[in-house]
Amino acid sequence: MSTNFSKELVVTPGTKVKLSKYDPEDTLGWEKGHKMKASLEKTIERLDAQQYLLYAEHKHALLIVLQGLDAAGKDGTIRHVMSGINPQGCVVTPFKTPTKAELDHDYLWRIHKAIPPVGDVGIFNRSHYEDVLVVRVHNLVPKQVWSRRYDQINTFEQMLDENNVKILKFFLHISKDEQRKRFQQRIDDKDRRWKISEADFAERKFWDDYTKAYEEALSRCSTAAAPWFVIPSNKKWFRNLAVSHVIAETLEGMKMKFPPATVDVSKLKLT
């Protein structure tokens, strides 16, 4: 089955996003089974090969941003999709409540410090978008402050792109009912109860507010330099398949090449 995941799931720049029009159960016609597993395995092999090229060419970095409501599967995506990537060239950065030191700087300061160097892959578990999401929903700063951040973020991401940082942003889209099921699974499974927090349950009350905040972020901040992809994520297997394909398609589209040897190999002799 041939599917251009990047084309199917990207938020076209300038599009006004209404998440109610995106089905979190969608699988683009794919079904769980042997063909899906084979495609995922092959795509993870493609990722491994492309990461090696990224490291060898040493001209670009790749930044992957994962956003989603609680239990959307950010950790699971990292664990499954990135299973074939060399950990030496990949750093995962989780962004939680800012520390005092971070609050003493502008909101992008801690983000910029975590941008991967050329040759490497960086993965953000949450990101600078928290400053137009949770900050907006809970009125942590005035509207006149957070409302300016969309343009600031676009400028920041454009600058990164112009400095050879390729950016892919994934919104893991689940339904409210699916979130409830996943929370219940954590309650029922003693090995997963450690993941439960009162804050997660409290945030469910703000579901509609977060939906509006995400819709504006997706609408205003999907650009050619840093596109957003809405990933239907009620089915974990499809989430993993879709994210892996988009990353592989993007890396292959960069047409990276191995650099030439730095020595004359014809003169090298093994003794």
- Asked if 169 and 65 count as a contact pair (C-beta separation under 8 A), the reply is yes
Phi and psi at 139, nearest 5°, equal: 55, 45
pLDDT of residue 199: 81
Helix (H) or strand (E) holding 231: strand 228-232
pLDDT of residue 201: 83
pLDDT of residue 196: 82
From the CB of residue 54, how many other CB atoms can be counted at a distance below 10 Å? 23
The ranges assigned to domains in the chain are 22-254
Task: Return the CATH superfamily for domain 22-254.
Answer: P-loop containing nucleotide triphosphate hydrolases (3.40.50.300)
CA atoms within 13 A on the CB side of 179: 19
Show the tokens assigned to 261.
Answer: 């040897």
pLDDT of residue 72: 97
pLDDT of residue 168: 98
Find the helix packing angle between 236-253 and 34-57, rounded to 10°: 40
Q: Sign of the C-alpha dihedral, residues 210, 211, 215, 218?
A: positive
Calpha distance 130→67 (Å, rounded)? 9
Diameter of the chain measured on Cα atoms: 71
Q: Tokens 């209404």 map to which residue?
A: 18
Q: Tokens 């940082």 map to which residue?
A: 165
pTM, to two decimals: 0.96
pLDDT of residue 222: 98
pLDDT of residue 270: 86
Per-residue pLDDT of the chain (271 residues; tens, 9 = 90+): 689 999 999 999 999 999 999 999 999 999 999 999 999 999 999 999 999 999 999 999 999 999 999 999 999 999 999 988 899 999 999 999 999 999 999 999 999 999 999 999 999 999 999 999 999 999 999 999 999 999 999 999 999 999 999 999 999 999 999 999 999 999 999 888 888 888 888 899 999 999 999 999 999 999 999 999 999 999 999 999 999 999 999 999 999 999 998 898 888 888 8
pLDDT of residue 266: 83
